[in-house]
């Protein structure tokens, strides 16, 4: 249609009309708009008090100060972890007690109905057990961490984190906003991947996406916490145990951030080379978060989320484990056979077959990795109640030969392994390219495997284990 061409011609005509002033036109136009804006504002805004304290600036002078900036950042991180860990203790115990009370009643019911053993095993010892474990272990920390994190976000703290850390990201060839997307990954890696949309340049967005998995999501916290607490000798008070666990988690997180930066650097020098794009970070004024509303909404939100995930993923996984543990192929259970098959490779990494298998089976959701592992160890599939750290230590160290190396490798692999199913699905949906999605799966796993193998070889060579 000639309207299309006519519109195109208009552009040419306009160019001729404005002639050689074209160069300064853009500047002039924006200046006119801002002049108008400035004049209106001057006219319309007044201050009701001559003594105004610029609280935002005062706060930022501390929060982003050369001396206090980093310590405060770590401090806040540590406090959030500590509150999550310590705060989750009692609710977890309480929930576990309730769930297991119900489990005993269910067992009685099954006996009373003369139900077949396998049905009881599958439904109660497998499905219900896994469900109970995941909910009592996962729900409290998530219902505490998420609201806390949301409060921090609401208050406006996250851009300050990006402001503090940007130099590292710049050196790693990454976009400044990657600090923000990385922070989102602490809650959930899938959410972190979606957050990567704030990075406009596709190259830098991809780097942020591919490295998001190196920060542990909420689903991996309990695993890391349990393992960190594991190596506490003797019986210590809950407070001290929580403090040590917090330290352990904090160290792991810092390590995760370091790996993020390193891999970003690697990617920006090899597969994803390119020019850094310009980025402007706005530091909005601090706002008082609506504590009440956020807490309530977030807690309800998370509870529903955890419960539905437990039903959809953990319950079937529990059933599966029970089936594998109670059916034989040849003269071993399917479970043991699978674990044995994985064992040689796992051994190289400082793990054992059951651990590796738990990670593999935990692909749909990270929070079921640890429950699957425990259930496999107590094979026969019943979730013996881990009443205390001592029980856990007994199971892992005494009964299954865990050493400090096993614990370390497990923690490292928990940090660096393939993203969970939801995250990979999200990556595919965002990137629409199976090659990047595949890389997103292989990259963290590959790095995790390499680190574990290296540490294991070193430890053995130096006779440290």
Please give the residue ranges that form the binding site for other proteins (CB under 8 A).
Answer: 1, 3-4, 6-8, 10-11, 13-15, 17-18, 21-22, 25-34, 36-38, 40-41, 43-49, 52, 56-57, 60-61, 64-67, 69-70, 163-168, 170, 176, 197, 200, 276, 278-285, 287, 290, 430
Query: What are the DSSP calls for 178-232, one per residue?
Result: HHHHHHHHHH-HHHHHHHGGG--SHHHHHHHHHHGGGSPPGGGHHHHHHHHHHT-
Closest Cα to residue 438, out of 214, 204, 210? Answer: 210
Name residues whose C-beta falls within 8 Å of residue 133's C-beta, 6 or more positions apart in sequence: 96, 99, 314, 318, 371, 374, 375, 383
Query: Which C-beta is closer to other proteins: that of 47 or that of 435?
Result: 47
Other Cβ atoms less than 10 A from the Cβ of 22: the count is 10
For 333, the 3-state DSSP assignment is strand
By beta-carbon proximity to other proteins, the closer residue of 280 and 463 is 280
The residue among 396, 438, 368, 387 whose CA lies nearest residue 130 is 368
Tokens 């705060």 identify what position? 87
Cβ distance to other proteins smaller for residue 237 or 280: 280
Nearer to other proteins, 15 or 269 (CB): 15
The CA distance from 219 to 306, in Å, is 10
Quick one: tokens of 247? 């330290």
Judged by CB, which is closer to other proteins: 93, or 154?
154
Measured from the CB of residue 310, what is the shortest distance to other proteins in angstroms?
24
Query: The tokens of 87 are what?
Result: 């705060």
Which residue, 206 or 411, has its beta carbon nearer to other proteins?
206
Return d(Cα 256, Cα 219) in angstroms, integer.
15
- Residue 50 corresponds to which tokens in the numbers above? 């001559």
Question: For residues 200 and 391, which CB has a smaller minimum distance to other proteins in the complex?
Answer: 200
Q: Toward other proteins, which CB reaches closer, 87 or 276?
A: 276
Kindly state the smallest distance separating residue 213's Cβ from other proteins, in Å. Answer: 20
Angle between helix 404-415 and helix 353-361 axes, rounded to 10 deg: 20
Q: Cα–Cα distance between 99 and 136 in angstroms, integer?
A: 8
Query: Shortest gap between Cβ of 302 and other proteins (angstroms)?
Result: 18
Q: Packing angle between helix 434-461 and helix 238-269, nearest 10 degrees?
A: 120
| Shortest distance in whole angstroms from residue 34 CB to other proteins | 5
| Min separation Cβ 18 and other proteins, Å | 5
Distances (CA, A) of 124 to 62, 72, 138, 201, 372: 54, 47, 20, 51, 15
For other proteins, the closer of residues 49 and 235 by Cβ is 49
Cβ atoms of residues 317 and 361 within 8 Å? yes
Least Å distance, CB 266 to other proteins, is 21
> What's the min distance (Å) between Cβ of 294 and other proteins?
11
Q: Closest approach of Cβ 22 to other proteins, in Å?
A: 7
């Amino acid at each position: 249609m000639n309207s299309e061409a006519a519109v195109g011609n208009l552009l040419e005509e306009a160019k001729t009309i404005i002639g050689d002033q074209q160069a300064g036109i853009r500047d002039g136009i924006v200046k006119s708009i801002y002049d108008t804006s400035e004049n209106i504002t001057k006219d319309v805004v007044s201050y009701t008090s001559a003594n105004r304290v610029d609280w935002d600036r005062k706060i930022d002078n501390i929060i982003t100060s050369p001396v206090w900036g980093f310590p405060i950042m770590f401090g806040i991180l540590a406090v959030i972890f500590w509150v999550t860990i310590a705060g989750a203790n009692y609710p977890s115990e309480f929930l576990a007690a309730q769930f297991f009370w119900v489990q005993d009643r269910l067992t009685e019911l099954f006996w009373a109905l003369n139900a077949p053993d396998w049905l009881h095993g599958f439904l109660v010892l497998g499905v219900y057990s896994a469900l109970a474990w995941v909910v009592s272990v996962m729900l409290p920390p998530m219902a505490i961490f998420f609201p806390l994190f949301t409060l921090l976000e609401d208050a406006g703290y996250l851009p300050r984190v990006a402001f503090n850390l940007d130099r590292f990201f710049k050196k790693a060839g990454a976009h400044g906003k990657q600090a923000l997307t990385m922070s989102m990954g602490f809650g959930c890696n899938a959410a972190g991947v979606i957050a990567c949309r704030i990075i406009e340049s596709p190259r830098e967005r991809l780097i942020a996406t591919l490295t998001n998995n190196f920060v542990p999501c909420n689903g991996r916290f309990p695993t890391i916490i349990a393992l960190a607490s594991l190596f506490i000798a003797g019986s210590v008070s809950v407070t001290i145990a929580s403090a040590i666990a917090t330290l352990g988690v904090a160290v792991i997180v810092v390590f995760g951030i370091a790996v993020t930066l390193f891999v970003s650097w690697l990617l920006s020098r090899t597969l994803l080379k390119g020019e850094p794009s310009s980025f402007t970070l706005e530091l909005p004024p601090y706002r008082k978060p609506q504590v009440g509303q956020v807490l309530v909404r977030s807690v309800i939100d998370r509870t529903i989320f955890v419960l539905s995930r437990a039903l959809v993923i953990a319950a079937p996984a529990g059933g599966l484990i029970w089936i594998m543990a109670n059916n034989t192929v040849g003269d071993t259970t399917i479970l043991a056979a699978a674990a044995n098959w994985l064992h040689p490779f796992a051994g190289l990494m400082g793990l054992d077959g059951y651990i590796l298998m738990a990670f593999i089976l935990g692909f749909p959701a990270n929070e079921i990795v640890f429950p699957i592992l425990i259930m496999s160890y107590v094979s026969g599939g019943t979730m013996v109640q881990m009443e205390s750290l001592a029980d856990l230590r007994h199971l892992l160290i005494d009964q299954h030969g865990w050493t400090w190396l096993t614990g370390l490798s497990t923690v490292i692999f928990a940090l660096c392994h393939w993203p969970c199913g939801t995250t990979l699905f999200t990556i595919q949906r965002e990137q629409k390219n199976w090659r990047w999605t595949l890389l997103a799966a292989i990259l963290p796993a590959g790095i995790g495997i390499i680190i574990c193998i290296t540490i294991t070889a070193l430890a053995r060579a130096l006779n440290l284990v």
